[in-house]
Structure 1
Amino acid sequence: MPPIADLGVLPESSAEHHGATTLCADSPWVSACRTPETVADFAAVVADYADRLWCAGVRPDEVVALVKSNHFDIQAIQCAAVRIGALPALLSAKMEPAHLLDSLKDLKRPCLLVDAEGAEVLRPWRDRLGAVVSRVLTLTPGTALPGAVELGESAPHQVTVRDGTAPTLITHSSGTTGKPKMLVHTVDSLYAHVAPQMNVVRSLKYAGISAKCLSFVHVRMSTGLLTALNAGLPFLGICSSEPSSVREALLRYRPETLEAQPNMFLRWEGLAREAPNPFSTVERYVSSFDAIHPRTLRTLLEASDHPNPTFVQAYGQTETGPVTLLTTTRSDVRELGLRDSRVVGAALPGMELRIVDDTGAELPAGTQGHIEVRTPARAESMLGRAPLPGRDTWWPMGDIGLLRPDGRLELHDRRLDRVPGVPSTLRAEDVLLDELPELAEVVIVAVDGTPTAVVATADGKPLDEDRWRRARRAAELPDGTRVDHRPWEELPLTGTMKVRRHRLPSHGAAG
């Protein structure tokens, strides 16, 4: 049976086939009618949210902009909106407030649905919301936004089934280089995300709990939910990336698979040295955003008690979904070594890759250039932007890299993040993390044309100057590269834990 990609009807269908399968979150469902523990519970919560949205007057084709704290309930509310024919727009409460207001404007007077955190983020703009949104609904009482009405009462809803080419979900990119791009997906484009993921699930023989700690507004979470419901995978949503919360969730649920954003895994390295070890039951780690740092990959694979755990990473972007796949085992790391994370795998079935020069001419294998892809999973459109070309055209990823003769993709840099005198910031950051175990994060940027390593250490102390100079040479960074030390908490992060590089002006740095 082919996978179902309709977010509105799948929870009910999955409950009929996998009703007793575990599906839960590690923290309370504040606004739900019950706390889901199974797929059947989740389907009931979706139906209840649909009743409440319907009673509040939400109808087919209405855009519902959701701004709330990061919790798995975002996915239930999304499914409920789709179920009644509305178009959910999932907006991160971690978005910069001005960008959040602009995103609401792009949605052309949507119905705004918030919780206490979402209302607090929008509070500076409360006097302007009336001109931007049609009305405000709230999931929690006491929301300090003008005219907010609590989503409380319910009425039987009517189910709307969408055509495959109809818009079904609006999500957004991370916003690492500025205002996030607002992307529209259809049932068909989501299906193109889910089909290869289902093949991966079947090939890897998933059995135990699959835990995900992600931004729940990201399209990866929506397609991950579709995959879990189609396959009947036991599923856990971990709602906070704070190491203490993650440790508690992993020790309580003991997942077999753990997916997170790369910077989350980097921050959790210290957990691998704790007793009891929260990663001991993990057979499979998954990352589908940026390349994973080799130090992090080694640390996590060594932390597992499984005979030969694997790390599955995909390369892609919000607009395209996963494009390549690479599986690394602990045996690979021990036997072959791993110094940098530039290789991100070969194209998934149905996806195409090529490298082009500045004029768009295709380059041969082994030649560095601009990465382009062709995929049926690409988003349908971008709000506030010119119409996108057909999916049979090549899509620029905005990255620099090359194709190896064996067909695997080597990733070097984001085009906009290139630093003069640094062949690959990605490789240099990997080497610095290996050479300096005390680093919790390092990002290489250009400040007034000078390469600068913005660093955060695990203990908050500045780097030793002699050790820094040795590490800089190993990373092949220019002699004049400066160091800008920051507390980890002061790094400007997106909702997907990416560092907003454009927000890293120099604090004054050492050489």
Structure 2
Amino acid sequence: MLTPHESATIGGVLQEAAAAFAGRPLLVAPPNPARAYDPEGRTITYAQAADAVQKLMALYRQAGYGQGHRIALLLENRLEHMLHKLAMNALGICCVPVNPDYRPRELAYLIDHAHVDLAVVLQSRQADWQAGAREATWQPPAVLLEQFGAALPSAPTPATHWTPEADTPASILYTSGTTGRPKGCVLSHRYELAAGAYYATRGGLVDFRPEGERIYNPLPLFHVNASILSFYAALLTGSCQVQTDRFQPSRWWQEIRETQATVVHYLGVIVQMLCVQPPSPADRQHGVRFGMGAGVEPQLHAAFEERFGFPLLELWGMTENVRILVDCHPPRQLGTRAFGRCTPGIEVRIADDAGADVPDGTPGEMLIRHSAATPRKDFFSGYLGDEAATEAAWRGGWFHTGDVVTRDATGMLHFVERRKNIIRRSGENIAAAEVEAWLLTHPDVELAAVIAVPDDIREEEVLACIVLKPRAREAQGQEALLRSLFAHCEAGLAYFKTPGWVWFSEQIPTTGTQKIQKHSIFGAGVDPRSLPGMHDLRAWKKRQKAQG
């Protein structure tokens, strides 16, 4: 395994890895005849990756891009995403991945907030990018991936420096903010390399062998899990990342077998969907040694491991710090939402609302830091353009995660719930405040409160409680009103953020200062989904296909 030093950069580590592991595979796309790209699959070795990166670097540099520039990538889960990211980072360029499910207003926000200097876009996503760009104030040039070598626009302000350092921004990843609009997490070269190194050295059942592992990751490359956590663990250990386009239950095991995967990454929804597949004699016909993920339902944990023959190692991480905590040392605590103990490099406190430590067994917010001497070491660099939010998250010298946990007598940490106003649906974090703000722009909505409700497949679903303006209550039928509200949300929010349940109410409980009391809307112990008058719109929610 390569061990990056404190001043290491991504470009330098790639060169070391290419020299050490030249003929080994680094990136693999599994075969899929139904896919528009690489239908027969594709393998890129370390040496081939380094060569491709050098050629891309030459093109970027010739066009004037370098230190200080930001480039958006709308490339879905194609292997080219990682090649372009590596080339950009080696020149000091910051990568801004784009969620392909963004609606135009969300994309416009990213363009303006990140102030990107260029976008590299799939031809099949060109219409999506143009729709977002039309709503943006800032107007960066864009180039199609398919025309990249021949049509790369020149940088608006040519760079004069191409030698990044460890603290140079490598990525800006957008997370759901509790106050409405997403925050841009700035991640440095040091952060990304430290995340991969930390993953690969957890020990116990997380055992990266000298010959390398084959990590099957169905998660999107605009998330920290696939583009940083697993990829840099692979790069540093001579391993391979198997990057499928997206999770498909019908193809999961076939792709794992065909690519000879030895490690898999999962979410709770993936485990649920695999467990409902009919049992097969081939359930254990694979080479998977362990799974890494979060959110498995406690009642499915042991049953999954017994059926499929490998451990699901529950972890904790977040974009602000993805040096993970993980329950990987026997005896493990299956079925308890345990996710490991603090280790050197991640100190943990559990505190009440006043910031005081709580006793073991008592729920409280998890606060983390690297150490007393260097609390922010290897964490994110900050929220882009929002120093106040960064400092608020770090108040008292500890990063406030917003997650409520407990610690047992053995030091094991157990997840309880999210303290922040966040809904977790199929691995996506959805800010209730963002959905509420958009609902309030509908001409018939007077007040909106958005909460999470359980979902049998997707962990949680979005429920919108809506008070209509007086003139709207009788002006149209309920079906037409629901269609109007759904179309409004669909136009302004990524499909997964659109409410799957809608409840019309005469009023929503508030405090004396007019703060909405969400916990009082339905009362304790009530499952809102079962109430008369609840509207189930989940079947209306569909991922939009690429235009063009």
TM-score by length of 2: 0.68
Work out the CA distance in 2 between the residues paired with 1:348 and 1:101: 40
Q: Read off the aligned partner of 2:187 and give its amino acid letter.
A: H
Q: Read off the aligned partner of 1:345 and give its amino acid letter.
A: G
In 2, are the aligned partners of 1:228 and 1:234 still within 8 Å (CA)?
yes
Work out the CA distance in 1 between the residues paired with 2:299 and 2:266: 16
In 2, are the aligned partners of 1:272 and 1:303 still within 8 Å (CA)?
no
Query: Which position in structure 1 is the counterpart of 2:11?
Result: 8
Partner residue of 1:47 out of 19, 40, 54:
54
Work out the CA distance in 2 between the residues paired with 1:179 and 1:243: 32
Alignment pair present for 1:185 and 2:183: no
Work out the CA distance in 1 between the residues paired with 2:292 and 2:382: 28
Structure 1: gaps (5+ residues) = 420-431, 434-438, 450-475, 495-511
Query: Which position in structure 1 is the counterpart of 2:406?
Result: 402
The DSSP-based 3-state class of the residue aligned with 2:264 is strand
Instruction: After TM superposition, give the deviation of residue 99 of structure 1 in Å.
Output: 2.1
Partner residue of 2:229 out of 223, 226, 230:
223
In 2, are the aligned partners of 1:63 and 1:86 still within 8 Å (CA)?
yes
Judging changes above 3 Å, is the alpha-carbon distance between structure 1 residues 158 and 214 closer, same or farther for their aligned structure 2 residues? farther
Judging changes above 3 Å, is the alpha-carbon distance between structure 1 residues 345 and 260 closer, same or farther for their aligned structure 2 residues? same
Work out the CA distance in 2 between the residues paired with 1:485 and 1:258: 37
Judging changes above 3 Å, is the alpha-carbon distance between structure 1 residues 109 and 281 closer, same or farther for their aligned structure 2 residues? closer
Partner residue of 1:351 out of 346, 349, 353:
346
Partner residue of 1:21 out of 7, 21, 24:
24
Q: Read off the aligned partner of 1:70 and give its amino acid letter.
A: N
Deviations 1:84-127 (A, max 9, x none): 22121122212343222111111224212211344232232343
In 1, are the aligned partners of 2:92 and 2:163 still within 8 Å (CA)?
yes
Judging changes above 3 Å, is the alpha-carbon distance between structure 1 residues 337 and 356 closer, same or farther for their aligned structure 2 residues? closer
Deviations 1:407-426 (A, max 9, x none): 1212211123599xxxxxxx
The DSSP-based 3-state class of the residue aligned with 1:413 is strand
Judging changes above 3 Å, is the alpha-carbon distance between structure 1 residues 323 and 442 closer, same or farther for their aligned structure 2 residues? closer
The DSSP-based 3-state class of the residue aligned with 2:283 is coil
In 1, are the aligned partners of 2:178 and 2:420 still within 8 Å (CA)?
no
Q: Read off the aligned partner of 2:403 and give its amino acid letter.
A: D
Query: Which position in structure 2 is the counterpart of 1:429?
Result: none
Q: Read off the aligned partner of 1:72 and give its amino acid letter.
A: L
The DSSP-based 3-state class of the residue aligned with 2:328 is strand
Q: Read off the aligned partner of 2:29 and give its amino acid letter.
A: A
Query: Which position in structure 1 is the counterpart of 2:315?
Result: 314
Alignment pair present for 1:478 and 2:525: yes
Q: Read off the aligned partner of 1:214 and give its amino acid letter.
A: L
Q: Read off the aligned partner of 1:410 and give its amino acid letter.
A: H
Work out the CA distance in 1 between the residues paired with 2:21 and 2:249: 32
Query: Which position in structure 1 is the counterpart of 2:514?
Result: none
The DSSP-based 3-state class of the residue aligned with 2:55 is helix
Within a 5 Å distance, the mapping from 1:60-139 to structure 2 comes to: 60-129=67-136, 131-139=137-145
Instruction: After TM superposition, give the deviation of residue 301 of structure 1 in Å.
Output: 1.6
In 2, are the aligned partners of 1:325 and 1:347 still within 8 Å (CA)?
no
Judging changes above 3 Å, is the alpha-carbon distance between structure 1 residues 159 and 43 closer, same or farther for their aligned structure 2 residues? farther
Alignment pair present for 1:386 and 2:392: no
Query: Which position in structure 1 is the counterpart of 2:283?
Result: 277
Query: Which position in structure 1 is the counterpart of 2:355?
Result: 360
Query: Which position in structure 2 is the counterpart of 1:503?
Result: none
Work out the CA distance in 1 between the residues paired with 2:465 and 2:418: 19
Work out the CA distance in 2 between the residues paired with 1:152 and 1:47: 19
Judging changes above 3 Å, is the alpha-carbon distance between structure 1 residues 488 and 201 closer, same or farther for their aligned structure 2 residues? farther
Within a 5 Å distance, the mapping from 1:124-163 to structure 2 comes to: 124-129=131-136, 131-140=137-146, 150-151=151-152, 160-163=162-165
Q: Read off the aligned partner of 1:110 and give its amino acid letter.
A: D
Instruction: After TM superposition, give the deviation of residue 201 of structure 1 in Å.
Output: 6.2
User: What RMSD, in angstroms, separates the aligned Cα atoms of the two structures?
Assistant: 3.8
Count of residue pairs the alignment pairs up: 430
The DSSP-based 3-state class of the residue aligned with 1:267 is helix
In 1, are the aligned partners of 2:368 and 2:400 still within 8 Å (CA)?
yes
The DSSP-based 3-state class of the residue aligned with 2:195 is helix
Instruction: After TM superposition, give the deviation of residue 219 of structure 1 in Å.
Output: 2.4
Work out the CA distance in 2 between the residues paired with 1:408 and 1:222: 26
Instruction: After TM superposition, give the deviation of residue 252 of structure 1 in Å.
Output: 0.9
Work out the CA distance in 1 between the residues paired with 2:163 and 2:396: 27
In 2, are the aligned partners of 1:52 and 1:152 still within 8 Å (CA)?
no
Instruction: After TM superposition, give the deviation of residue 78 of structure 1 in Å.
Output: 0.5
Judging changes above 3 Å, is the alpha-carbon distance between structure 1 residues 273 and 98 closer, same or farther for their aligned structure 2 residues? farther
Work out the CA distance in 2 between the residues paired with 1:165 and 1:93: 28
In 2, are the aligned partners of 1:355 and 1:363 still within 8 Å (CA)?
yes
Query: Which position in structure 2 is the counterpart of 1:168?
Result: 170
Work out the CA distance in 1 between the residues paired with 2:255 and 2:160: 37
Instruction: After TM superposition, give the deviation of residue 58 of structure 1 in Å.
Output: 2.1
Instruction: After TM superposition, give the deviation of residue 237 of structure 1 in Å.
Output: 1.6
Q: Percent identity?
A: 18
Judging changes above 3 Å, is the alpha-carbon distance between structure 1 residues 337 and 393 closer, same or farther for their aligned structure 2 residues? closer
The DSSP-based 3-state class of the residue aligned with 2:194 is helix
Work out the CA distance in 2 between the residues paired with 1:178 and 1:279: 46
Work out the CA distance in 2 between the residues paired with 1:61 and 1:270: 48
Work out the CA distance in 2 between the residues paired with 1:384 and 1:493: 31
In 2, are the aligned partners of 1:357 and 1:363 still within 8 Å (CA)?
yes
Partner residue of 1:415 out of 410, 419, 424:
419
Q: Read off the aligned partner of 2:386 and give its amino acid letter.
A: R
Judging changes above 3 Å, is the alpha-carbon distance between structure 1 residues 485 and 346 closer, same or farther for their aligned structure 2 residues? farther
Deviations 1:173-192 (A, max 9, x none): 25798533211112222243
The DSSP-based 3-state class of the residue aligned with 1:127 is helix
Deviations 1:207-228 (A, max 9, x none): 5422222111222322322221
Structure 2: gaps (5+ residues) = 371-376, 424-453, 467-522
Work out the CA distance in 2 between the residues paired with 1:236 and 1:177: 36
In 2, are the aligned partners of 1:67 and 1:91 still within 8 Å (CA)?
yes
Work out the CA distance in 1 between the residues paired with 2:177 and 2:108: 14
TM-score by length of 1: 0.73
Work out the CA distance in 2 between the residues paired with 1:320 and 1:296: 28
Instruction: After TM superposition, give the deviation of residue 52 of structure 1 in Å.
Output: 2.9
Judging changes above 3 Å, is the alpha-carbon distance between structure 1 residues 118 and 99 closer, same or farther for their aligned structure 2 residues? same
Judging changes above 3 Å, is the alpha-carbon distance between structure 1 residues 400 and 392 closer, same or farther for their aligned structure 2 residues? closer
Work out the CA distance in 2 between the residues paired with 1:94 and 1:283: 32
Work out the CA distance in 1 between the residues paired with 2:314 and 2:36: 30
Instruction: After TM superposition, give the deviation of residue 81 of structure 1 in Å.
Output: 0.6
Instruction: After TM superposition, give the deviation of residue 136 of structure 1 in Å.
Output: 1.2
Query: Which position in structure 2 is the counterpart of 1:240?
Result: 246
In 2, are the aligned partners of 1:401 and 1:409 still within 8 Å (CA)?
yes
Work out the CA distance in 1 between the residues paired with 2:229 and 2:262: 19
